[in-house]
Amino acid sequence: MKTDQTTSNGNYQRTSEKPVENCPKCQKILTGTIEVSSAVVGGISFVVMEETPDRNWILCDFCNQTICKSCCIMPDSGYCDECFIELKIAPNLP
């Protein structure tokens, strides 16, 4: 037995935030943002983070530093250079 998707609308709110305006390393102007949407469906709340296509920066998952994508070797990893190297060396990563 499968529960039907309930499309009853609960609270839905949308915020977007960008921590800084310029890359701390190269001073490049940072564009784009992450849109954080939260929705409550069936009493359970979900948070969805989505980057806009023009986003040229990342927020390091490890040290919370904002840095532009051209200042880090692996922007897709979500980590800045320092953390990426550190985590790559750390034995708990493949």
User: Which chain residues interact with Zn ion by CB under 5 A?
Assistant: 23, 25-26, 28, 60, 62-63, 65, 68, 71, 80, 83
Of residues 8 and 92, the one with the C-beta less far from Zn ion = 92
Contacts for 84 with CB less than 8 Å, ≥ 6 apart: 72, 73, 74, 77
Phi then psi for residue 86, to 5 deg, are -65, -45
Least separation in angstroms between residue 48's CB and Zn ion is 23
Of residues 18 and 25, the one with the C-beta less far from Zn ion = 25
Of residues 48 and 93, the one with the C-beta less far from Zn ion = 93
Least separation in angstroms between residue 31's CB and Zn ion is 12
Least separation in angstroms between residue 57's CB and Zn ion is 8
